[in-house]
């Protein structure tokens, strides 16, 4: 199915109109080297309790959308103002201070797909994803020329660094790809992210052991947090930004001042014990934020780790 009269500029204009900061187009295929690396990561059980990661659909876009030919990867920038650790308060990871990005992205995706169907006069031609569908988004983003894999395993965007949230869609339409090629890593001999990780979760360049990751234990794991992880938490209540804050590619990047992902649109940068008690009285305050999934009791438990 062809979308030959659609141009890259037209697609980018629509993406930015809906709120995304960048966009890339590539074929709906995951490179074999990325599939092999992903399967090796699973084989070593570096995913811990994240059993949903074992879904092999991540390696085959056509199982999510039969006949998929092209992939569009959308980028949202979310870097926040720097916030130090504070005694008596738990720090929230940057991405979780505003609105829940899954909700924001799916609203945008729904509008983009509706526009694409109207523009082409065809229906059922696209399927969206935003971290909740089994897709290797970072591999597609690299293939689309948006950036490269950092040694912290995150996408380093060519302009925005690592503070980006990815979403996208597969389509049965063959879309025009820009001339940009997949970008080679530009980390050189730098190991700042590996050196900065307090728990040693970055066990080697480009390899993360989630079972040692502070963010994994504060958000994903249902097990009791190991003592050696607890004592290395500098003050995070939810998530962790340490490997991003240490990355030179994030230096001199202006913080986001407006939009869905700023602190004033969500829970903010800190929560104290008093804040958590107030949230017990009005739990709906967490609705629509990434912290909603944790619930008050889990947040209080996390708070006790460093207080």
Q: Which residues are catalytic?
A: 131
Strand blocks (E) in the chain: 22-27, 70-77, 89-92, 126-129, 147-149, 155-157, 164-171, 202-204, 207-208, 236-238, 270-272
Q: Which of 132, 135, 157, 133 is closest to 144 using CA atoms?
A: 157
Provide the 3-class DSSP secondary structure of residue 155: strand
Question: How does DSSP classify residue 166?
Answer: E
CB 239 within 8 A of CB 302: no
Q: Which of 102, 174, 159 is closest to 131 using CA atoms?
A: 102
CA 218 to chain centre: 16
CB 129 within 8 A of CB 307: no
CA distance 299 to 86: 17
Helices 8-17 and 101-120 pack at an angle, to 10 degrees, of 140
**Sheet containing 164-171: order of strands:** 22-27, 70-77, 164-171, 126-129
**Cβ neighbours of residue 279 closer than 8 Å, sequence gap 6 or more:** 271, 285, 286, 296, 299
End-to-end alpha-carbon separation of the chain, Å?
Answer: 59
Provide the 3-class DSSP secondary structure of residue 149: strand
């Amino acid at each position: 199915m062809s979308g030959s009269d659609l141009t890259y500029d037209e697609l980018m204009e629509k993406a930015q109109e809906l709120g995304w900061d960048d966009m890339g187009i590539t074929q709906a295929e995951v490179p074999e080297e990325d599939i092999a690396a992903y399967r090796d990561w699973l084989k070593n059980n570096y995913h811990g309790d994240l059993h949903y990661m074992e879904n092999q659909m991540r390696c085959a876009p056509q199982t999510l959308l039969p006949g998929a030919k092209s992939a569009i990867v959308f980028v949202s920038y979310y870097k926040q103002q720097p916030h130090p650790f504070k005694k008596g308060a738990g720090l929230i990871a940057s991405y979780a201070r505003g609105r829940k990005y899954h909700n924001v992205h799916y609203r945008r995706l729904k509008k983009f797909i509706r526009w694409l169907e109207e523009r082409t006069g065809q229906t059922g031609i696209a399927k969206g994803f935003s971290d909740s569908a089994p897709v290797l988004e970072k591999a597609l983003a690299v293939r689309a020329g948006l950036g490269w894999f950092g040694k912290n395993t995150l996408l380093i965007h060519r302009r925005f660094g690592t503070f980006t949230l990815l979403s996208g869609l597969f389509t049965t339409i063959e879309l025009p790809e820009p001339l940009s090629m997949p970008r080679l890593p530009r980390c050189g001999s730098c190991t700042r992210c590996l050196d900065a990780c307090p728990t040693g979760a970055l066990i080697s360049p480009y390899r993360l052991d989630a079972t040692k990751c502070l963010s994994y234990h504060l958000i994903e794991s249902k097990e009791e947090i190991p003592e050696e992880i607890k004592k290395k938490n500098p003050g995070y209540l939810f998530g962790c930004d340490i490997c991003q804050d240490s990355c030179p590619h994030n230096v001199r990047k202006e913080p986001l001042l407006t939009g869905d992902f700023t602190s004033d649109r969500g829970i903010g940068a800190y929560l104290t014990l008093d804040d958590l008690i107030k949230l017990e009285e009005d739990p709906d305050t967490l609705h629509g934020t990434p912290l909603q999934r944790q619930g008050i009791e889990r947040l209080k438990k996390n708070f006790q780790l460093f207080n």
